[in-house]
Chains A and B, each alone.
Chain A
Amino acid sequence: MAASSDYVTLISSDEFSFIVQRSSACISPAVKRMLDPSNGFLEAKTNTVRFDNINGMVLEKVCEYFYYSEKNENARDVTDLDFPTEMCLELLMAADYLDI
């Protein structure tokens, strides 16, 4: 795989993979650091990030947030992203981990 393609793959703990734009995924400083070639992580070489502590459903929401955040970067009065209530705590912990 090319060293810096436009898309990166995020793989959840239950082996769901999400292919998202690099610019969107890099909204998360944690993901950005992992994918930075200068840091020399394996993730940067393969353009793939594995999350052993985030399951597929939560990671899907996280990807949705990536795009939502990028799209509404300079918009005013943005409606809040909606998600199921039972996922709140898991999302909260994932957000804490990803620093978003």
Chain B
Amino acid sequence: MALPSSPPLLADDDDSDLPSAPSLLSLPTDSYHRKRQHSDYDSLSSDPLFSDTTEDDEVQDAERPRRKKLVRGRWWEVGKRSAHDFRRRMAKKESLRNADSGVFMGSDASEGSVDSILSSQQRLQELAVEDDVVEENAPVQAVLDAEAYAARIIQMCLDSGKEAIDLSSLALNHLSEATLRPLHQLIKSSFTTFTHPPSEDEFSPLTPSITLILSTNQLTSLPAELFNLSNLTCLSLRSNHLTHLPAAIARLTRLTEFNIAGNGIRYLPWELLDLIHCKGDHRQITARPNPLLQPTDLSGPSPLPRPNYTPAGSEDLSRFADTRETVEKMRVRYREEGCLNLRGELELRLKLGRMLRIQYLQDASRAGTELKLCREELIYLASSSIRYFGVDGTPLRRTHGFPPDTDNWPATMDPTAHAPTSPSTPNRTPSLFELALRSLQGTHNLTDFLHASPTTTATVYGFSPPLATAIHAAATNTAANHGNENCSTCSMHFIVARAEWVEYWFHGFPSQQELSGESVLPFLRRYKMGVSREEPPHVHKRHASGERITLSSPTTELLPA
């Protein structure tokens, strides 16, 4: 009776349920799983029951060497992609086979097997569809990768307290606000070695002097956050695809080195003049090579007979001679000789500017005031003709003469020649249009109900195209972005500019006698108020830029009345 060899029956034991649980679960999946394996096996077998053309193609393709050329992308994705292709081809084959006969597949299984075939097929197709989606997203992924990489570099610099952030040659074509934002938290590492106690001179402020190198990328616009990084001292944007520079660049007041060479920039913002005009501290600003505007053709020799003329006896200029009179005399003489073209006029102005500068310096040294000077001179040369705009930003009609060159902004003797005779608002109060737009900007989140482009907004809401453009400008200028532009004469904010013109300034060394294209910088100025012929905008120039004008260039005096 007693059977010691057999284990005791544990039918009443609860533990007996445990081993059975997996088998119960595995039962429904079993056939499915087997089917999967089976189908996999079929597809892998080199010799199918039914002649399968795709399989043959595949073999042939594999034998051909030029098949390799079709593989694009990064090497670590190639393997993945070939797996995707394989799975897709399998799915295709599966459907083909299913269309041919169900008998072959259903030979060894019960009724459930048909379902399992179908489900496995569906699963395969799903997989194939998933793979397709992934492949479509691949380029987007690549863009994110470049930026994610940039973000990682920034994070690494942040962790190690490194002040030089090198994001060059990453093929970045977009830089988002969020990527740059962590740089606000950058703290300079105090001292790196812990082998000795910190000496006296190792105690320095932890405020960093950030060096941000974004050169050799494909940036077309700059994130607004960049201009909030007030600790930026060196910024390189060399070799990008920028076409204009936002005025917000003037907010980076600690900048000592700034490079925008090798972009598509045609003119600089007026605000950059504040940076270029260094008060003692040297700033290195590289603006060339860029397709910058030229006031006039500056190639070839100077038309003036004595280009090397330096104001001889400049020491006593301040004592008795009136510089302006001298230059006026020279001007008259040159005009009689017939060699005073626009370029000659520019050279005369440069001469006058230099003489006035010397005079000013002499006066200052006599008075005993201490002056901070930079090595380069900054002298106003000329303006282009002023372009006027209506309240909603549409260009106003020219009253007389030909319309000025819309693209090249050539320098002219009479910038106000094309002023409209009947100005729409001849006073300094902002237009109602501007006021309403500003209020709209302040109270509503405009981006929520605007469409992608001004033209679609115009058609959807029935706005006129200039109105839609103005609202779009208001939406993009919000505080989160660069903010509204400042009027370059009264430093008040505006959305719709009413006038704009380009000013040409000489920026070079005093030793440079002749005016050349390399030493002239164009600055775009935008003006906010309604303008009239009686009161051209540059009358306010002096109070706007204050000390700079009186020091290095007598702008208002040089302009024609």
Which A residues form the contact surface with B (CB < 8 A)? 27, 29, 62, 65, 68-69, 72-76, 78, 80-81, 83, 85, 88-89, 91-96, 98-100
Contact = CB atoms under 8 A, between A and B. Distances in A.
B431 interface: yes
Contacts of A91: 432, 435-436
Contact of B443 (A88, A96, A100): A88
A32 B430 CA distance: 19
Interface majority SS on A: helix, strand, loop or mixed?
A: helix
B196 interface: no
Nearest to A73: B427
A14 B433 CA distance: 23
Contacts of B428: 72-76, 78
B261 interface: no
Contacts of A92: 433, 436-437, 440, 467, 471
A100 B434 CA distance: 9
Contact of A89 (B392, B432, B440): B440
B391 interface: yes
29 contacts: A29-B424, A62-B432, A65-B432, A69-B427, A72-B429, A73-B426, A73-B427, A73-B429, A74-B428, A75-B428, A75-B429, A78-B428, A80-B438, A81-B432, A83-B435, A88-B437, A91-B432, A91-B435, A92-B436, A92-B440, A93-B467, A94-B432, A95-B391, A95-B432, A95-B436, A99-B424, A100-B391, A100-B431, A100-B433
B429 A96 contact: no
Contacts of B463: 93
Contact of B432 (A73, A76, A78, A100): A100
Contact of A29 (B392, B422, B436, B439): B422
Contacts of A89: 436, 440
Contacts of B432: 62, 65, 69, 81, 91, 94-95, 98, 100
B429 A88 contact: no
Interface string B452-494: 0000000000011011000100000000000000000000000
A34 B222 CA distance: 47
Nearest to B438: A80
Interface in B352-392: 390-392
A99 B420 CA distance: 14
Given A89-B440, A99-B424, A68 B433 contact: no
B425 interface: yes
Contacts of B431: 95, 100
Given A72-B427, A80-B435, 13 more contacts: A27-B425, A29-B422, A75-B428, A76-B428, A78-B428, A80-B438, A81-B432, A88-B436, A89-B436, A91-B432, A95-B391, A95-B432, A98-B432
A72 B471 CA distance: 26
A69 B425 CA distance: 9
Given A88-B443, A89-B440, A95 B433 contact: yes
B391 A96 contact: yes
A38 to B, nearest CB: 14
B424 A100 contact: yes
Nearest to A71: B429
Interface string B410-430: 000000000000101111111
